[in-house]
Amino acid sequence: MATPVPVLTPIIEGAPKGDTLFFIQGWPDDHTLWNEQVASLRDRYRCVRLDMPNYAGSEYRRWGYGHEEIVEALVRCIRQVSPDRPVTLVAHDWGAYWAYWLHHRHPELVSRIVGLDIAPHMTPTPREILMIIAYQWWLLGAFVVGGGVGDWMTSRFARMMKTPRQGEALSSSMNYPYLYTWRDIVTGRADKIFRGYTPEIPVMFIYGEKKPGRFHSDHWLELVRSRPGNRVVALDGTGHWVTKDSRLKGLVSDWLDGTRQN
């Protein structure tokens, strides 16, 4: 039996007639990750946020959802909230991964992308590969174990990484992306997902420099910079959660305003 597609419930605020900004976050964040961004943009943009499956108040499934089902759920939500016009995706972490996948599959739905710290193309060093395997399999293991032990493993890692969300609000059930990522890697499917992906829409890519490894390649940076109007920003002194950096609001706001089509 095929895995069902989850139903995502949009949270909409801001200018009713403004361009639609569609925010997508990753592990272990909920829609509140974007509070400051939305506060600075809602006077002139229509801001759409949502919580992903297995987060508080959202649809729950013990084994979560594969990337295919998540992307399809995002596609359906975008068509619901903006049936006549493409949206701008603002995405971080797994949200960025899903955003690129969505755009690659349905380019007609997306007008611009703000990608935060995660790119569709990576060329990790051996050290970075070991780091990725270690933390992802820790979270994958927590997801499979589940229960109190899995929740403790998840919360411990979140505290160590100083994520925006920590404590009792977290659960191992949120870790399903790691299970399905490694399923795709083992089956060889992961290498095909972004094959030939060269976005021809405006793209802004912002990443933090202060972290153990990069989640992007030099090729991706060159690809983004090669198109007029695109921008790459490296935030010094900032780690993976660039959303916590006070500079982000101004950077995103200025770029969106500068690339907005009247």
pLDDT band at 159 (very low <50, low <70, confident <90, very high): very high
| Phi-psi region at 14: left, alpha or beta (left = phi > 0; alpha = psi -120 to 50) | left
pLDDT band at 167 (very low <50, low <70, confident <90, very high): confident
Least Cα distance to 251 among 36, 78, 13, 14 occurs for 36
Q: What percent of the chain has pLDDT over 90?
A: 93
Helix H or strand E segment including 192? none
Q: Per-residue pLDDT tens for 88-146?
A: 999 999 999 999 999 999 999 999 999 999 999 999 999 999 999 999 999 999 999 99
pLDDT at 3: 77
| pTM (2 d.p.) | 0.96
Q: What is the mean pLDDT of residues 176-199?
A: 95
Cβ contact 125:164 at 8 Å: no
pLDDT at 169: 80
pLDDT band at 57 (very low <50, low <70, confident <90, very high): confident
Q: Is the pLDDT of residue 262 over 70?
A: no
**What is the DSSP code string of 31-65?**
GGGGHHHHHHHTTTSEEEE---TTSTTS---TT--
Q: Per-residue pLDDT tens for 84-96?
A: 999 999 999 999 9
Q: How far apart are CA 3 and CA 198, in angstroms?
A: 29
Domains of the chain: 11-124+195-259 (3.40.50.1820)
Contacts of 6 (CB under 8 A, 6+ apart): 53, 58, 59, 61, 65, 69, 70, 73
Q: What is the mean pLDDT of residues 165-172?
A: 83
> In the predicted model, what is the mean pLDDT of the chain?
95
Cβ contact 20:45 at 8 Å: yes
**What is the DSSP code string of 110-134?**
EEEEEEES--S-----HHHHHHHHH
Residue 208: count other Cβ atoms within 10 Å of its Cβ.
21
114, β-bridge pairs: 90, 204
Cβ contact 255:231 at 8 Å: yes
Q: Which of 166-180, 216-230, 242-256 has the lowest mean pLDDT?
A: 166-180
Q: E strands, 86-181, where? A: 87-92, 110-116
pLDDT at 14: 97
Tokens 């690129």, located at residue: 100
Q: Sheet harboring 20-24: ordered strands across?
A: 11-14, 46-49, 20-24, 87-92, 110-116, 203-208, 231-235
Tokens 């049936």, located at residue: 83
